[in-house]
Amino acid sequence: MEKMPKEIIDISLAWDIINWGKSLNFFEKYIDYNKPIKALELGAGFRGGGYSHYFTMKNMNVICSDYPVVSKLIKEIHRKYNLDKVITYQTIDALDIPYKEEFDIIFFKSLLGGIG
């Protein structure tokens, strides 16, 4: 499998790359990127491109969400890499997700403390 450039990992994770980078190793080991995958990112935050950035570059069909809105900065970063045309943006409250059995994977980072 082709290794993702460090710049993309840095932009996707934005902070604490050492720890969150371990999650990417896990995903690389267990996700088959050769088949269509529909994914949802909850709590995209306001720094970096988020997991949406990374997984869209892996050809996943991604909905990038946050609550109350997806930040302009996230959208600007996606636009810089021409990902804004393939990522769907939605306002989704992680405590009231309006989908049932819609996604192959739902991902988030640093979200649990904010919804407790």
At 45, the pLDDT band (50, 70, 90 cuts) reads confident
Q: How confident is the model at residue 1 (pLDDT cuts 50, 70, 90)?
A: very low
- Mean pLDDT, rounded, for 29-48: 91
Token pair recorded at residue 47: 């720094």
Across the strands, what pairs with 89? 64
| pTM for the model | 0.87
Length of the chain: 116
- pLDDT over threshold 80, residue 111: no
Domain boundaries, given as residue ranges, for the chain? 6-111
Fold assignment, 6-111 = Rossmann fold (3.40.50)
Q: Give the model confidence (pLDDT) of 51-81 as tens digits.
A: 899 999 899 999 999 999 999 999 999 999 9
